[in-house]
Structure 1
Amino acid sequence: MLNAPAAATQSRSENEPTGRNEVDEPEGFSVELLAPHAAFPDSVAAGFLVDYEESDLGPITSLLPFDASSVVLAKVTWQPGGTSGWHTHPGPVIVTITEGELELINERDCVARTYTAGQAFIDPGQGNVHIAANSSTTEQAVAYATFLGVPDGKPATIWVEPVEC
């Protein structure tokens, strides 16, 4: 099950909506915090435009809040068949795949996108609900994630109700 530090993730009990279905639960997925919240000493602003080739919905614009507060750096590992569970992040995330491959599905278009070792992607965050899974039955997948705009003391990952795609 989930092996993630409190600074990088939010526990299920904090996320469970009242009177609704439970939030999704990761499986075969772990997060190693490499650098906890690091505050920017200067004012920082950034924006990303993510335009998926397979989507007719147009690009996603992600603006890092002017008061970025901090960043978090983590190593994320998916065991064979592992999944992150459906989740979102408070700000954009830059993800670099270093081992194996991941299948990423965003709720907005339900298109499966595969990223392999040596590739990177940007999750626009700010409500972009998605899931990442390792479809291999023999190899683990590893990625390094830089979470931007995570307020100090807040989780970098927030699990949500499962999505039907």
Structure 2
Amino acid sequence: MNRIRTAAVLAALALPIAAGPAAATPNSGVEATVLAQATVDGVQYVTRQLTIAPGGTTGWHWHPGQVYGVIRQGTLTHYSANCEIDGVYDAGDPITEETGPGYVHVGRNLGSEPLVMWVGYIVPEGQPLANDAPNPGCPFE
């Protein structure tokens, strides 16, 4: 019996180890300030001001709940997981985003001035406002 157990352990050790998931891409140059927050009937309502420095990025991520906002200053360049721009938003423009892990995206400030957004999140209590995701293969972060 010990021989069989030893052989099984050795066989398992000889198997190739599958690579783990790619690392998430962190945000860069982002400052977030909570403007308002409340939880009602198991739902979180959060409003934040996001400021992204020139050259900054939100990092790749997705949202478990509804997200909407308005650009207050600067320009947001928004990319989907196919590496293509799916929106360019200037001061005064509204923005909404799809929900769920099937909508991985990144926001970048490609301008020369800080980008300022007011963003509202509606998420189930206990869920994060966003979940980090790995770069889906785009030549930028």
TM range (shorter): 0.7 to 0.9
How far is the alpha carbon of 1:111 from its aligned partner?
2.5
Which structure is higher in helix share? Answer: 2
Q: TM-score, length-normalised on structure 1?
A: 0.66
- Work out the CA distance in 2 between the residues paired with 1:89 and 1:69: 14
Equivalent pair of 1:92/1:126 in contact (CA under 8 Å): no
Q: Could you report, residue by residue, the CA deviation over 1:81-139 in whole angstroms, capped at 9, with x for unpaired residues?
A: 000000011012112100000100111x4331210001011101222110000001x30
Q: Could you report, residue by residue, the CA deviation over 1:12-62 in whole angstroms, capped at 9, with x for unpaired residues?
A: xxxxxx82221111101121112234325xxxxxxxxxxxxxxxxxxxxxx
The 5-angstrom pairing of residues 25-40 of structure 1 reads: 25-39=26-40
Q: Which amino acid aligns with 1:73?
A: T
Corresponding residue SS for 1:97: strand
Q: TM-score, length-normalised on structure 2?
A: 0.76
Structure 1 stretches of at least 4 aligned residues deviating more than 6 Å after TM superposition: none
Structure 1 unaligned blocks of 5 or more:
1-17, 41-67
Structure 2 unaligned blocks of 5 or more:
1-18
Larger CA Rg, structure 1 vs 2 = 2
Equivalent of 2:108 in 130, 133, 147: 133
- Quickly say closer, same or farther: Cα 1:39–1:27, change in 2 above 3 A: same
The 5-angstrom pairing of residues 14-163 of structure 1 reads: 19-39=20-40, 69-107=43-81, 109-112=82-85, 113-127=87-101, 128-136=103-111, 138-148=112-122, 150-163=123-136
Q: Which amino acid aligns with 2:136?
A: V
How far is the alpha carbon of 1:75 from its aligned partner?
0.7
Q: Which amino acid aligns with 1:117?
A: A
